Amino acid sequence: MEDALHSQGFGSRRECRALVLLGRVALGGVVVTDPDVDVVALLPACTDGKWTFEVDQRVWPYRERAVVMLNKPAGHECSLKPRHHPSVMSLLPTPLRVRGLQPIGRLDEDTTGLLLLTDDGELNHRLTSPKWHAPKVYRVTAKHAWAADAPLRLMNGVVLDDDPEPAKALAVEPIHTTVGEHAMLLTIGEGRYHQVKRMVAAVGNRVEALHRLRMGTLALDPALAPGHWRWLTPEEEAALRASVRLA
């Protein structure tokens, strides 16, 4: 039990051992007091590694590799060492921070919406690598009305100031909303520095608000409030991994 707790971010092995000895850990509602007990022996039916345990009466799912989604609010940095604002890591419970979750890509401090975090380095690499072109969908609210040719220019590609290779949108869909709001859905397959903001600037406009709705196969859960997180479902995680050819 000690090893299982340690792998899930509940502290050092000594701290995890103490949790068990103090009767703060349970499996299926039954308190475990032997830190050396074989969890698989207690749960022989759980051969796929999918089981839950309780620490201080809070239920936790066992995950060999952790992948969670966060509805990122404004005013948080996607950095483990933030400089001007709180880190998005402060929105996660301690065990997830301890086990080393990291954001998959980065959203600017003022950008909101879907952010994935994981301790699976290969999944992180593939979802952020240009080689795999994982599509990312943003709702862009601009300061001014869009020029009539802006969608076509974004689709054909615009040249950014530090890169001669044009940055192209995969899809552009205008949104007709309230008077005075100039919004569109913009899909990109790359992750260059401030890419969406710079692409919008290249067509003569300015981003006022930026919200990510989708990354790869995964859409932001509409029931997830800003600042809240949840585990990916097995189906969501399987589809995400399959999209970048990971088991």
Active-site amino acid positions? 108
Question: Closest by alpha carbon to 205, among 246, 130, 149?
Answer: 149
**CA pair distance 87, 186, nearest whole angstrom:** 26
Neighbours of 63 (CB within 10 A): 20
210 contacts: CB under 8 Å, gap ≥ 6? 108, 110, 111, 112, 113, 138, 139, 140, 141, 196, 197
SS3 221: coil
> Exposed, middle or buried: residue 150 (CB in 10 Å: 0-12, 13-18, 19+)?
buried
Element (H, E) at 59: strand 58-61
